[in-house]
Structures are given as structure tokens and as C-alpha cells.
Amino acid sequence: MSTPHIACEPGDIAPLVIMPGDPKRAERIARTRLTDAKLVSDVRGIGAWTGHIDGTPVTAMASGMGVPSLSIYATELYRDFGVERICRVGTCGAIPRSVAVRDIIIASAAHTNSSVATINVPGVALSLAPSFDMLRAAVDAARGGERAVHVGPVFTNDFFYGGGPDTIGALSALGTLGVEMEAAGLYACALAAGKEALAVLTASDHLMDGSGDLTAEERETLFSGALEIAIAALLA
């Protein structure tokens, strides 16, 4: 049974999904980290690769960029393909000086200017948060890793080119660690489906100091620390 955006049978997708934004990163994860990875869907160039990690079936599939794109894939995966857990392995812009480029952020909450926080319950902005079990497993797995790991709120922005210094300054004053474009949408989809989700992000650039920003190639390839944390959270 295919959906408009995923063309395979429900059994072709594993209950655990690694979800970067970038389809090339999803393919790289499948080729380097999954055993016997098979391409099971490729609608619109968004490949879904299913294989195994330590004997457990896992699918790697991209979300594309932004809450609308992610929401399509996460909704169909949870609703139609029996997916139980999705872990986003993404990039973000670091906000405070205490977070350096290449550091890892585990998103314990996601503020957003997307309507995804407000459309479900009239007059209420939902608190968008990850699965506690996945969050705890990720934090445990992060201990002793090579990169600094930060745990805290991120800002899911509806615009890559938007949100001026005032927005970022105000978010920084509220302890927000990074800015990206999907985590709040993922947490909202998991909430609606009664399923689990987490976002583990690698800082690809710094909003206060752009001198060390990653290149496009590095944004595709430099995520191994975040990936291992994400795998631990999925398998927990």
C-alpha cells in the first residue's frame, strides 16, 4: 500500500527511522551504517533505505527542508507504515557562544514560528518536546563522546533567510541553543500520532560568528557523532 509520497509496502519500512533533512545524507547513512541496505522507495528523489543495525531493522529516509515537507513524511510513516520512532539527524545554526560549530545539540524542546504549534488546539500554543525515553537514551549515549554535546531548546524557523537579530537575540536570552527548520514539526507529528521522536543536531554554522561555518560538503558528511547518539536513542 503506497501513499502519495512513499511507494512501498508497510513491511518495507522499519519501525525505527533515521531522518536527516538532506536525501544525500540519508543515502550516505544507509551505505555506511546500515547492513544490507535496500532502496525501498524513491518518490521525488527522497530515498528510503531499509537495512539493519546490530540486527535490528532500521530505515534511513530524508525529510526534505522545512516543517511542511517533514510533516508529510512523518505523518505517512507513523500513520501508514507502522513507524514507532523517528530520530532527526540534522544541522543547525548555533546561537550562544557556548555552542561551537561541529558541537552537537540534543533538542529537548522546540520553539517555533510555524503554525504547527497552534493549529491543533484553538488558542493554545503546544509545547513541542521529544520522547522522554529517546531523550534520556541520547543523553546517556552522549557521555564520553568526542564532540561537546548540549541539551536544550532549539528554534524551528519557517524561514532559512529570515528572523533578524532581534528574534535571535530574544531566543538567545531564553536559552535557545540553535536554529533549524524541522524539529518542532517532527515533535508535533509524533504527538498527533501517539508515537516517539527526537532531534539530534550538528551545529553547521554560528549566528554570532560566521568565520568557521561548514561548507555544503561538510554539512552532508560531518554528522557521525550525532548519528551514533541518534542510533542509541532509536534502539533504546
Ligand X SMILES: O=c1cc[nH]c(=O)[nH]1
Residues acting as catalytic residues:
205
Q: Does 23 bind ligand R1P (CB under 6 A)?
A: no
Largest CA distance in the chain: 48
Residue among 35 and 215 whose Cβ is closer to ligand X: 215
Question: 3-class DSSP state for residue 121?
Answer: coil
Nearest to 20 by CA among 89, 107, 74: 89
Which three cell numbers, joined as nine digits, stand for 108?
529537548
Q: Which stretch binds ligand X (CB under 6 A): 11-19, 24-32, 42-50, 86-94?
A: 86-94
Question: 3-class DSSP state for residue 164?
Answer: coil
DSSP code of residue 11 = G
Sign of the alpha-carbon dihedral angle for 115, 227, 56, 40: positive
Alpha-carbon gap, residue 116 to 65, rounded angstroms: 15
Interface pattern 146-175 for ligand X (x via CB under 6 A): -----------x--x---------------
Residue among 12 and 198 whose Cβ is closer to ligand R1P: 198
Q: Does 182 bind ligand R1P (CB under 6 A)?
A: yes
Interface pattern 46-85 for ligand R1P (x via CB under 6 A): -------------------x--------------------
Applying CB under 6 A, among 91, 108, 131, 176 the residue interacting with ligand X is 91
Q: Give rounded-to-5 percent helix, strand, coil for the chain.
A: 35, 25, 35
Alpha-carbon gap, residue 32 to 125, rounded angstroms: 39
Residue among 108 and 157 whose Cβ is closer to ligand X: 157
Find the binding residues for ligand R1P in span 88-107 (CB under 6 A).
90-91
Residue among 10 and 152 whose Cβ is closer to ligand R1P: 152
Q: Does 180 bind ligand R1P (CB under 6 A)?
A: yes
Residue matched to cell numbers 513524511: 73
Residue number of the CB closest to ligand X reads 93
What residues make contact with ligand R1P under the rule CB under 6 A? 20-22, 65, 90-91, 160, 180-182, 219
